[in-house]
Amino acid sequence: MDNAIIVSFISCVLLGSCTSSPPNFVLLFADDLGFGDLGCYGHPTSLTPNLDRLAAGGLRFTDFYCTSPVCSPSRASLLTGRYQTRSGVYPGVLYPGSRGGLPLNETTIAEVLKPLGYATAAVGKWHLGIGANGTFLPTRQGFDQYLGIPYSHDMGPCQNLTCFPPDVKCFGLCDVGTVTVPLMYNEVIKQQPVNFLDLENAYRDFASDFISTSAKKRQPFFLYFPSHHTHYPQFAGPGAAGMSLRGPFGDALLELDNTIGSLLETLEGTGVLNNTLILFTSDNGPELMRMSRGGNAGPLRCGKGTTYEGGMREPAIAYWRGIIQPGVTHEMASTLDILPTIASLAGAKLPQVMLDGVDMSNILFSQGKSKRETMMFYPTNPSETYGVFAIRLEKYKAHFYTQGASHSGTTPDQDCSIFASLTVHDPPLLFDLEADPSEHYPLSLDKRPDLQAVLGRIKKVKEQFEGSMVFGESQISKGTDPSLEPCCSPQCEPKPNCCHC
């Protein structure tokens, strides 16, 4: 019996809702959020009541991973179920004028669902390329509608922009010498620069309208909401500014949580909450170089930019009222697994390519064992020369290489800093992540044949995986072209300063 039939049966028995309506999917994706940033993950002063409510009523993951410690590669893997090395979204991230983007021959979750009649929308941070004439925008990748900033909101001058009311300027300079960040609807610039104080309201209204319209049409839907929160520079409108105990970071996080609360009200009000799977996670770990403005990795080591746990282990919540039973799972899962899981639940065909994700249904509906035994850790600049930097096999993680990052500077741990240069470990550093999730105490292999056997298994997995990995053409290495930067007045001069509307 396939998962779509199983879910329909569970819904019929538990909810008295014996319909054949396909499930809806809402995928919420935070930005630079650390493992320890949510109230439900132990932060003492974060105000995240709606996310905490989802965690209390759903399944909270303790061992959930992204595939890259920076934005663009992580998003490529999320939407395709494939490591970023396959799609070519590496090294680093895409920029406003990047020539490359997520290749159109890659199949996104939206494109998996479209043949089944799903309505699809994306709202927020895209960061998978724009390209010439909008080649790589969401509307070219399976999404019917898009509202958002097509890259990171710090990728434009922000020193004169207002991030908090009444007129508190954004912290720092952001990127200078480029166009101010635009707000796009589908492929048209609606505002440049964006109004940060009203941005979240615009996103909330767009997402709520999409849900309401789909529900009214009785059309199944997929909503992808990659938020800008809590990436630097933080911002928040009047509904959240000054209302948290964590300063700017806490206010930005609270604004995201408020939006999630509004979406839950819309799902409830339109009568589709019981038929909607909500998934929440983040793209990578916290940007610790921003100190109190950069998030918190909890007990995990380092953060953004590194292959330590703090860079790639993420908070994650799955919620489906009446279908997913409340609890906590310690099973290993990944953003890679979201596409195969959604495809299975919708009864959709999987792309005919090498997928790295597995179906999580057994975890979600039975709180059973994961099909995932391994997780690969690529650095921000993966290469065939070095391959994976680390591998997790069951509870053990082996670091073949370690390297710090500027994103994780300012912490007392010197191994996190950019000054911690690339180091080869032979034998690899081996950690028991159940006993030592902070990766402080490498296991000694001396007189431990059991650990030597584990390491032997890990090396075999590494050899097999790297033997099967075919690196796609690097999209980011195609470079940038200033003429590709989005400008609402394409013929104006002098650029980029004249791009205002």
Is 71 in the active site? Answer: yes
Catalytic residue among 66, 71, 487, 488: 71
Is residue 127 part of the annotated active site? The answer reads yes
Is the Cβ–Cβ distance between 203 and 225 less than 8 Å? yes
In the sheet with 390-393, reading across from the earlier edge strand, the strands are 374-377, 390-393, 396-402, 423-432
CA distance 72 to 125: 10
Classify 189 as helix, strand or coil: strand
| Alpha helical stretches, state H, 134-246 | 196-217
Q: Quote the tokens at residue 474.
A: 């690097």
Helix (H) or strand (E) holding 282: strand 276-282
Cis peptide preceding 49, ω within 30 of 0: no
Instruction: Answer yes or no: are the C-beta atoms of 445 and 452 closer than 8 Å.
Output: yes
**Candidate list 40, 66, 127, 399, residue with the active-site label:** 127
48-63 core/surface letters (b: 16 or more CB in 10 A; e: else): bebbbbbbeebbbbbb
Residues 196, 236, 212, 9, Cα dihedral to 10° = 130
Cα–Cα distance for residue pair 57/70, rounded to 1 Å: 30
Size (the chain), residues: 501
Strand partners, 59: 318, 327
Residue 154 to residue 163: CA distance in whole angstroms = 12
What residues are annotated to the active site?
A: 71, 127
